[in-house]
Structure 1
Amino acid sequence: MTRHVDDVDREILREMARDGRQTVRALARTVGLSEPSVRERLQRLERDGVITGYHAALDPGSVEADTAAYVALRYEHSSESKKRVTERLRDEPAVLELHEVAGEDCYWLKVRTSGTEDLADTLDRIRSIPSVTGTKTTIVLRTVFERPLRPDGPPAEGK
């Protein structure tokens, strides 16, 4: 269950997004609260699922994952098929994101591989999942920018 995030929580989250490696002491000083108060708020934000983890942002080329692609996937419609497909996609290391979508397709996936040969092997594994009825793949030529989710949400129009 996600709780309401107040202005103090947003300030803490903004600072964490800016520098996730800062100490609780530095964070407390920046937001003007005591260390125990900040620690308690962080623990509550984690427990309530607002903070879902702490991650290093990696350069894909440095870890041999410089080929990105989006895959539109369709499968036979049944709850058993959906479960089987989802489990197999969750186990596929190249699949970074899995989105259930409305429209012609069932899922959109973001995958990253070391190159086109690795991408072809990944697509072969995905297409071999029982119940998968089709895929369409779009290879990313260049990532212009990516941005993490901000504590204030998406910018309002006109800002």
Structure 2
Amino acid sequence: MRTVQPLDHVNHMLVAELSRDGRKTVRALAGLVGLSEPAVRDRLDKLSRDGVVTGYRAVVEPQTVGAGTAAFVTLRFTPEPDAKTAVNNALEREPCVLEVHEIAGEDCYLIKVRVGTTIELADALDRIRAIPFITHTNSTVVLRTVFERSITI
């Protein structure tokens, strides 16, 4: 990730509003911050180029799209020079893997997986365990999600 200058007051307001409502129009944002639409568009373009705003997404209820079963899985892999790259590439190709976090401690990664059923989870774990260099996994199945949230500022 690139080093980005701290957000000024206007950019902070723009990012905060977009994090609450990514469908907010440029016109509405301009009215909110007291700038012209072209000035706001330029700021949004720069925020995207600088990697502050990385995209606009719909938030989808997992159960409605056949992904109601979630699990967190810790992974360990060998310390060989090519291991991390190979594991990263394999996990990125696995559509059920939603998040990959490098963690401190005995394990190397904590990943979040979403699938439709426990049978699909078992199949996904078989594929993940078959990734070269992976030596150990430990899975925790989510019984109920109390809440999830995105970053808002």
Q: Same fold (TM over 0.5)?
A: yes
In the other structure, the counterpart of 2:111 is 109
**2:49 aligned residue:** 47
**Aligned partner (choices 14, 17, 20) of residue 15 of structure 1:** 17
Question: By how many angstroms is 1:45 displaced?
Answer: 0.2
2-structure distance, mates of 1:19, 1:132? 40
Q: Name whichever of 4-13 and 107-116 sits farther off.
A: 4-13
CA-to-aligned-CA distance 1:27-51 (integer Å, 9 cap, x gap): 1012211111110110000000000
| 3-state SS in 2 of match to 1:79 | coil
Q: Which residue of 1 aligns with 2:132?
A: 130
2:146 aligned to which of 144, 147, 150: 144
Q: Any idea what SS the aligned residue of 2:29 has?
A: helix
1:98 matched to which residue of 2?
100
- State the distance in 1 between where 2:81 and 2:103 align: 16
Distance 2:45 2:6 in 1: 14
SS in structure 1 at match of 2:82: helix
Is structure 2 residue 26 aligned with structure 1 residue 27? no
Q: Is the 8 A contact 1:71 1:136 kept in 2?
A: yes
TM-score (norm 2): 0.96
Cα shift at 1:79: 2.2
Secondary structure, counterpart of 1:71 in structure 2: strand
Provide runs of 4+ in structure 1 moved above 3 Å: none
Separation in 1, partners of 2:12, 2:23: 17
In 2: Cα distance, 1:79 partner to 1:9 partner? 41
- Paired residue type of 2:129: R
Equivalent residue for 2:81, pick from 79, 82, 104:
79
Please list every run of 5 or more consecutive structure 1 residues that lacks an aligned counterpart in the other structure: 152-159
Which sections of structure 2, spanning at least 5 residues, go unmatched? Answer: none
Deviations along 1:67-89, whole A, 9 cap, x unmatched? Answer: 00000000011220111111101
Aligned partner of residue 139 in structure 2, secondary structure = strand
Query: What SS does the corresponding residue of 2:30 show, helix, strand or coil?
Result: helix
How well do the aligned residues superpose, as a CA RMSD in angstroms? 0.9
- Give 2:120's aligned residue: 118
Aligned AA (1:131)? F
Greater mean alpha carbon deviation, residues 75-84 or residues 89-98 = 75-84
Q: For each residue in 1:89-115, what CA deviation from the matched residue of structure 2 results, as whole angstroms up to 9, or x when unmatched?
A: 110000000001110100000000011
What is the number of equivalent residue pairs in this alignment? 151
